[in-house]
Structure 1
């Protein structure tokens, strides 16, 4: 079924100092509205009406105007915050997030954890690690995600056609394993005192992650300032380890704030239980408010979220902070419209739109293959957009059809896909490994975030300089080599010698002396200028103009 619509002029201007004026419908039953939908008197075409805050759902012929936010005023110039004339290798960019200070902290804490483990009865040879050991350890960890084998020990397997040459040259297997077993981001001697505070506000459930977590989140905000469009998503990090912090189905919940233009991770937090909430508005509200800090972001941003975060209270409070919000919503969420007057039904054709405006909030329902519900504080309900849908026509053939689509849905799909792009970058070359420690799982995920952000900074620098960036895999390869102190390209090996020695004579009788059949060496005669006898000759001597046997 084809859907026809009339394009709408959305160039509305409003005074920023005064709230938008809306024409309210006086009739509660909606009879006159239904009449105007079918057309006006004397056969004139239907008029677009300006409606807001009604007790009925408006249709596609009703005009909606979005409130205008103040202009975009970021705290810093959006984009990377690096020297535009500087030269940055992959290791330089990665070291912005995992700097030398973080490596030194890891060294101290790993050494303390190893001593503590040995005191508990662990039996292995331990030599205190240095910073160079940590860099090589990280380099091998990234190498394992590029060259995948079933188990870590397989990288040191010898005397097989599947043996790896590079890992044994960087670090011995037992050295890598002992460092892996003792990874600790915090001082292990502080854990008992923190465990005694369990259940009290002073207890930090993320103490085991705190040093590296603070360093990486600070670096994410320091070296890049996001563009106007932001997104917040809930990410699940799977683990089979025994965990001490709050998790669902053996998965950690990470709340990630990212730039919708390129997928850069601006900030993230880890859910550690409801006891960490700072207000009574719920987890979703507190998460968004903690990530959207105007003190370092600025004002006028546009935020896109999924239905986990969307609530009218949150969106109105963000609007008061001059931050527009758009996201999917659940119909049973508190303060969402519950009226069934002219509501969307399952029998409506694809492309049908219903909307209600309540002050700065517009609630839109759209029929696609199923009902889609979305809410926004900076979009009009509908401005004439269409989207191509693959569907079955009346004649039974499949094809693409232009279907009317609400403005918030178009913009939501456009900006939320960048978060998926960031997730794909992390998953393509993730260094995630099976582990029995929960904090080790997050340690590897922190490295994934750092490497991905470093690559996105590399792309930003290349785009600014109009250069072709490396591929993601090429970037990780260069980073791996630089962490291990080598180069990706190695000099070609010397071609095998074609001259093979063969004996001059075959001594079959035991009575013959040992020097029987020896001949003068041509090399010694011509190069060393001395006579020397040898029992060997070159098997290719017949191809040379002189006789090696003389």
Structure 2
């Protein structure tokens, strides 16, 4: 395989994100409604399938106990490239799912997610959606250090260590990760933290019960602080609790909410930590949305193929997000231009097919104008000498494969 062929394959993968096909072989079909001229000009179909069959991301002679050994070098390469962009101040930590419906020991099921079955990745992203690091979750083989503070703190601190986040940044996470112990560690590192917190991680804080607070007026809040950490409980559609070490309670932010009984919208005072959480938490979800919008659709039976394909889509999404800093525009035109460059710049011109050898009749026999009749071939299909399509007919006298409609063209000087 050459580098040009590999880039061409990646270009075809990206093309299937906005030009979906249920079978990759259809791109080389003779039918105009499913075929792709770009793919056909890039390389022959059999060469494309051969390269996919023999494509590997790691040396199989160096098998280790790591269940992700086949894709570990691939993720290291991706993460190194993602980190070339400067870190923004506000970062978010969350999980993402790579769709996979086959069998593998690390496949996860998460109820309520847009993608319920697949591989789970721990991700650190900017609030704008740019992805800095993705760490595959594979149980004991997950390459994140054990901090002794629980799985949530291990993920947050492990991703911050992988990205070498300096002091002065703010990290946002949901209730899967948040704990008061994690906020204390972030404070010692000079980092801010903010996230929703579960009831059993409040350390016995004397808040009113959720059912009691739900009966009060919308916008009612309770808060506690020990000087370093602030915990706020606020009544909206539901009661939500947020813990932070970097956001003050005030100034309050005015939020607009619809009230069915009043038939209109009302203004509600929102604590500043909740406003900051709503503003900066959705970075990983925004990245997922951009990836899913034009997800590559080439299928394979290899267990690691969805991860490889996700990496291509992740690199494409990050590239588009970086371009938004200089020129705003939708993702589809950018993706089409990128696909065009990858395919057209790596297409190797092939010499036209020559039919001068096999099944060639001498000119004195071909143009004598006598007794050239169509006859059915006794063997398998052959290629017509005129249109190069499959045919089971031939010239009885010349023994050359021809369609009946191509007989006159072939025998005319």
Q: TM above 0.5, one fold?
A: yes
Write the deviation string for residues 154-182 of structure 1: whole angstroms up to 9, x where unpaired: 22221455443332111222222222233
Pick the aligned partner of 2:123 from 249, 256, 263: 256
For 2:235, which of 367, 371, 378 is the aligned residue? 367
SS in 1 for 2:61: helix
Q: What SS does structure 1 have at the residue aligned with 2:282?
A: helix
Residue number among 76, 81, 87 corresponding to 1:226 in the alignment: 87
CA deviations on 1:95-122 (whole Å, 9 max, x unpaired) are xxxxxxxxxxxxxxxxxxxxxxxxxxxx
* Structure 2 residue aligned with 1:285: 153
Q: What CA deviation, in whole Å up to 9, does each residue of 1:311-370 have, x standing for no partner?
A: 111111101111110001111226252554899522112111111113311111111111
8 A contact 2:24–2:298 mirrored in 1:
no
* 1:190 aligned counterpart, secondary structure: coil
| Separation in 2, partners of 1:340, 1:403 | 20
Shift in CA distance, 309/181, structure 1 to aligned 2, threshold 3 Å: same
Task: Determine the C-alpha separation between the residues in 2 that align with 1:294 and 1:138.
Answer: 27
Q: For structure 1, which runs of at least 5 residues remain unmatched after alignment?
A: 1-128, 195-202, 463-467, 488-550
**SS of aligned partner of 2:40:** helix
Aligned mates of 2:126, 2:75 — CA distance in 1: 20
Change (3 A) 1:353 1:241: same
Distance in structure 2 (CA, Å) of the matches to 1:473 and 1:266: 22
Query: Is the counterpart of residue 346 in structure 1 residue 190 in structure 2?
Result: no
- In the alignment, which residue of structure 1 is the partner of 2:382? none
SS in 1 for 2:164: helix
What RMSD in Å do the two structures reach over aligned CA positions?
2.4
CA distance in 2: counterparts of 1:336 and 1:302, whole angstroms: 26
2:139 to 273, 281, 286: 273
Work out whether residues 382 and 405 of structure 1, in 8 Å CA contact, stay in contact via their aligned partners in 2. Answer: no
Q: Is the 8 A contact 1:307 1:328 kept in 2?
A: yes
1-side partners of 2:284 and 2:152: how far apart? 18
SS of the residue 1:225 aligns to: coil
SS at match of 1:233: strand
Q: Work out the CA distance in 1 between the residues paired with 2:89 and 2:44.
A: 48
Structure of larger gyration radius: 1
After superposition, where does 1:380-399 map in structure 2 within 5 Å? 380-394=248-262, 398-399=263-264
Match of 2:39 among 167, 172, 185: 167
Structure 1 residue corresponding to 2:49, chosen from 177, 181, 191: 177
Shift of 1:206: 2.0
Which residue, 176, 183, 196 being the options, matches 1:315?
A: 183
Q: Note the C-alpha offset of 1:283.
A: 1.8
Indicate whether 1:156 and 2:28 are aligned: yes
How far residue 408 of structure 1 moved from its aligned partner, in angstroms, is: 0.9
Structure-2 separation of matches of 1:429 and 1:295:
27
Cross-structure match for 2:73: 211
From the superposition, tell whether residues 275 and 359 of structure 1 become closer, same or farther in structure 2 (CA, over 3 Å): farther
TM-score scaled to structure 2, two decimals? 0.76
Q: CA deviation at 1:304?
A: 0.7
Residues 207, 222 of structure 2: 8 Å contact kept? no
**Which of 401, 404, 425 pairs up with 2:269?**
404
Q: Spell out, residue by residue over 1:166-225, the C-alpha distance to the aligned partner (whole angstroms, 9 max, x if none).
A: 32111222222222233321011222xx2xxxxxxxx3222111221111111111x211
Q: Does 1:137 align with 2:46?
A: no
Q: 1:164 to 1:382 in 2, by over 3 A?
A: same
**Superposition deviation, residue 437 in structure 1:** 2.3
Query: Aligned-pair distance for 1:377?
Result: 0.8
Q: Which residue of 2 aligns with 1:247?
A: 108
Match of 1:439 in 2: 304
Deviations 1:233-273 (A, max 9, x none): 1112220122243634642111111111x211111211121
Conserved 8 A contact 2:23-2:298: no
Note closer, same or farther for the CA distance 1:235–1:405 as it changes in structure 2 (3 Å cut).
same
Q: Describe the superposition over 1:32-74 as per-residue Cα deviations: whole angstroms up to 9, x where unpaired.
A: xxxxxxxxxxxxxxxxxxxxxxxxxxxxxxxxxxxxxxxxxxx
When residues 304 and 353 of structure 1 are mapped into structure 2, their CA distance, relative to the original with a 3 A threshold, is: same
- Distance of aligned partners of 1:130 and 1:388 in 2 relative to their CA distance in 1, 3 Å threshold: same
Distance across 1 between alignment mates of 2:163 and 2:121:
22
Residues 440, 336 of structure 1: alpha-carbon distance in 2 compared, 3 angstrom cutoff = farther
* Matched residue SS, 2:201: coil
3-state SS of 1:286 partner: helix
Correspondences of 1:474-489 after superposition (within 5 Å): 474-486=333-345
**Which whole-Å CA distance do the structure 2 matches of 1:183 and 1:346 have between them?**
57
CA distance in 1, matches of 2:6, 2:193: 43
Q: Does 1:325 align with 2:193?
A: yes
